[in-house]
Amino acid sequence: MGLLEMLLGPRLPQITADDLLGRLSSAQPPVLLDVRTSVEYASGHISGAINIPHEQLPARAAELDAHRERDIIIYCRSGVRAGHAARALQKSGFVRLALLSGHIQSWQTTGHPVARHH
């Protein structure tokens, strides 16, 4: 195990925006977790995503308990907050975690749809 893994925990798998789009229409779609602020979430998110800002995740992880047996794909704007969120979930016993490669920026630049709340 390298120093980085000792400090940050094991590297999480990543899924591309195109792969995620395909999985969202599958029989067992993953749970999407948007860990940006509520303002960022309202400005554009992947449809169906659960919004729990990363700094609230340790206190709100129980809200995801019903999804422990499903894959959870975590994203933020660029990756930093998603990494913090993943470590918090790992400490709470979640194991089926992955990161959206390129996060919401990649999702949008590849032309995939976003939902907005005003």
> Which residues are known catalytic residues?
76
Sheet holding 97-100, edge to edge: 14-15, 97-100, 72-75, 31-34, 50-51
Tokens of 33: 């977790």
- Tokens 């554009």 belong to 44
CA distance 116 to 45: 7
**How far is residue 98 from each of residues 10, 12, 14, 30, 116, measured CA to CA in Å?**
11, 6, 5, 10, 24
